[in-house]
Amino acid sequence: MLIRPRRNRKNPMIRALIQENHLNIHDIIAPFFLIEGDDKIEPIKSLPGISRYTLDKLIVEVASIHSRGIQSIAIFPALERNKRSKEASEAFNENGLIPSAIKLLKKHFPNLTVITDIALDPYTDHGHDGLTSDEGEILNDETIKVLVKQALVAAKAGVDAVAPSDMMDGRIKAIRSALDSHGYENTTIIAYTAKYASALYGPFRDAIKTKLAFGDKLTYQLNPANIKEALLETKLDQEEGADMLLVKPATFYLDVIAKMAQISHIPIGAYHVSGEYAMVQAAASQGMLDLHKTYHEALLSIKRAGGSFIFTYAYKEMLEFLGH
Ligand code: PBG
């Protein structure tokens, strides 16, 4: 035998020399769910280990993980019923939960990257990401007007990046133009480019306490059977001025990450979503899988596919696994 591939695996030093991909703690974006009020931490049943925080408690939790090396977080609101409406007007309330959180976080942690979703599902009474007609149709262009207002409020509060997750057509261009014309040309846009209509978002909807009142998200999120749509969205989001592109979910869609990384000229990331996190927790709690190793392998597979940043709820496990 002239070629013995096992020579390159014969000891830890050789294996380290030839390792092609690494997961670093600064690749990770930790998602947080926020609630109004004071002094409350509510564990989320379907996301073991993850909780909803009031802002005072959020600061304490973020201080701890930030000091250990987490550099970026994403924030999502879990609002009471009375803050949700057909018009989703709480989405652009300058004194709302999200802008208040952004201001507080940026004051306490100037070197923390704060990201917020741009989408209406936490704010509509029916749980869709957009405004709807009386017949229940999701209204693209009307929704964009609200998304623009939501993005401007977040930018004014000092957010580092807005992440439109709504999947309306043309929203990246509209948000980019509005941000620029209001003096927020340094606010980053992370576009949810290939957001699939996935069964894996279940625990997230529980976390933000939304349930679709009617229909499904198939007229705006992508069909899990398709990849061409993702490539078209890649082209559009790039042309419309996105700074980074996102694939979601992550591990069932590694082929999408890989293809998009090949064709695009800007960074690709992935959202390792609530269902991907919860499946591993469930299996590990039954002794079926090793929690830390399984998460690490999942996140490393995203890096191998071409993702450079990853939203994941497994940030505490990765702090431990990576020795922080
Ligand atoms: C809302 C949004 C969703 C997620 C992130 N932003 C849910 C959805 O589209 O229904 C899912 C994240 C997760 O499952 O962890 N636009």
- At residue 304, the pLDDT reads 98
The model's pTM is 0.97
Q: What is the pLDDT of residues 193-213, one digit of tens each?
A: 999 999 999 999 999 999 999
- At residue 92, the pLDDT reads 98
Atom of ligand 1 nearest to the CA of 274: 15
Task: Using the mean position of ligand 1's atoms as its centre, give its distance from the Cα of residue 198 in Å.
Answer: 9
First to last CA, the chain: 43
Top mutation candidate among 52, 73, 121, 219 for ligand 1, by most atoms within 8 Å of CB: 121
* Active-site residue set: 195, 248
What percent of the chain has pLDDT above 70? 100
- At residue 104, the pLDDT reads 98
- At residue 195, the pLDDT reads 98
Q: What residues line ligand 1, using a CB cutoff of 6 Å?
A: 117, 119, 121, 129, 165-166, 201, 204-205, 271, 273-274
Residue nearest to atom 5 of ligand 1 (CA): 165
Instruction: Give the whole-angstrom CA distance, residue 195 versus residue 270.
Output: 10
Atom of ligand 1 nearest to the CA of 31: 15
Looking at residues 83-105, what average pLDDT do you find? 98
- At residue 25, the pLDDT reads 98
